[in-house]
Amino acid sequence: MDLSVVIPAFNEEENLQPLLAELRSVLAGMGKTYEIIVVDDGSTDGTFTVLRRLKKDEKALAAIRHRKNFGQTAALATGFSHAQGNLVVVIDADMQNDPRDIPRLIEKLSEGYDVVSGWRYQRKDPLLKILVSRLANGFRRLLTAEKIHDSGCSLKVYKKECLENLPLYGETHRFIPLLLAWKGFKVGELKVNHRPRKSGKTKYGIVRLLKGFLDLITVKFWVQYSTRPMHLFGSMGLLSFFLGLFLGIYLAAMKLLYGIPLANRPLLLLSILLIVLGVQLFALGLLADILIKMYFHNEGDNQRIEIII
């Protein structure tokens, strides 16, 4: 199998038939073997009924239904674990992405990328949403070493090996390029067409977009410290410990040299607090490090290898 197209769909009954028609005409012209995997993420409308009907004249279609709505990240994870193709394309079910961009994305892979992400440079969404998304993308680029413009664009093409052992939980699908860059995969981007949503409703209001900021912090922590928590907790602990220690020495010196009494000074409490906190943070870091070494020392060892000759 050359190509798997993975489509997460939550309440998209009106969009699936026209999307599949568009997809089919693009895929037929590419001369590749393909499958189309639609993951119905617990829709409450007729999405799965439509899929049953479409399946009758589309042998390449596989429809998977979640028991309930688990979210777009979970839908992608399900799609990925069923994908057989050497390349995996993700596209939204709502017709906002344009299937005609797929061949260009695949072509771009040959420039040496492992994943090529779409960039909705002329995005057709409400202005406020575009602004929040710009802000979030800006923060990500500031905080992390991964610099593509539009990490949240669903339309992407991946080499199969990118998707093994990818930690997909919560709403982390927006950070897949970041996670992949962290694992040493090469991430590229390409300007793609974007269209307004004609049928169905968006699932992401402003509140959910804001939650993306929090996810960014989680992912940033994960990427940077998950294999070495001691670096974070240990340095915070040492800082706190020595601050407290110096305060204590200063107070003791004041007492010994000038006879300034210690008992009524708030600084003494702060000094003790900082020392205790420092020891605890240090111990926490040590513990986290030991746990990680015990449980995860073998994880992904083979994934680091690009080539053996």
**Binding residues for Mg ion, per CB under 5 A?**
94, 96
Q: Which is nearer to Mg ion, 94 or 215 (CB)?
A: 94
Q: Which does 8 bind (CB under 5 to 8 A by kind): ligand UDP, Mg ion, none?
A: ligand UDP
Tell the smallest beta-carbon distance from residue 179 to ligand UDP (Å). 18
| Residue numbers 223-282 binding ligand UDP by CB under 6 A | none
Q: Whose Cβ is closer to Mg ion: residue 39's or residue 109's? A: 39
Shorter beta-carbon distance to ligand UDP: residue 9 or 36:
9
Which residue in 128, 15, 6 sits closest to 72, CA to CA?
6
d(CA 103, CA 90): 13
46 secondary structure, DSSP code:
S
Residue 116 forms beta bridges with which residues?
A: 157, 188
What is the 3-class SS of 147-202, one letter each residue?
Answer: CCCCCCCCCEEEEHHHHCCCCCCCCHHHHHHHHHHHCCCCEEEEECCECCCCCCCC
Q: Which residues contact 209 (CB under 8 A, 6 or more apart)?
A: 129, 132, 133, 136
In the set 121, 139, 182, 204, which binds ligand UDP (CB under 6 A)? Answer: 204
41: contact with ligand UDP by CB under 6 A: yes
How many positions of this chain bind ligand UDP (CB under 6 A)? 17
Of 72, 78, 144, 151, which lies in the binding site for ligand UDP, with binding defined by CB under 6 A?
Answer: 72
Q: Residue 113 touches which of Mg ion, ligand UDP, none (CB < 5 to 8 A by kind)? A: none
Backbone angles phi, psi at 110, to 5 degrees: -70, -10
Whole-number minimum distance, CB 264 to ligand UDP, in Å?
A: 59
Distance from C-alpha of 234 to C-alpha of 286, rounded to nearest angstrom? 8
Q: Is 96 in the site for ligand UDP (CB under 6 A)?
A: yes
Binding segment (CB under 6 A) for ligand UDP, from list 27-35, 200-208, 224-232, 277-285: 200-208
Task: Identify which of 89, 73, 88, 19 has the alpha carbon closest to the alpha carbon of residue 47.
Answer: 19
Interface ranges with ligand UDP (CB under 6 A): 8-10, 12, 41, 69, 71-72, 75, 92-94, 96, 154, 202-204
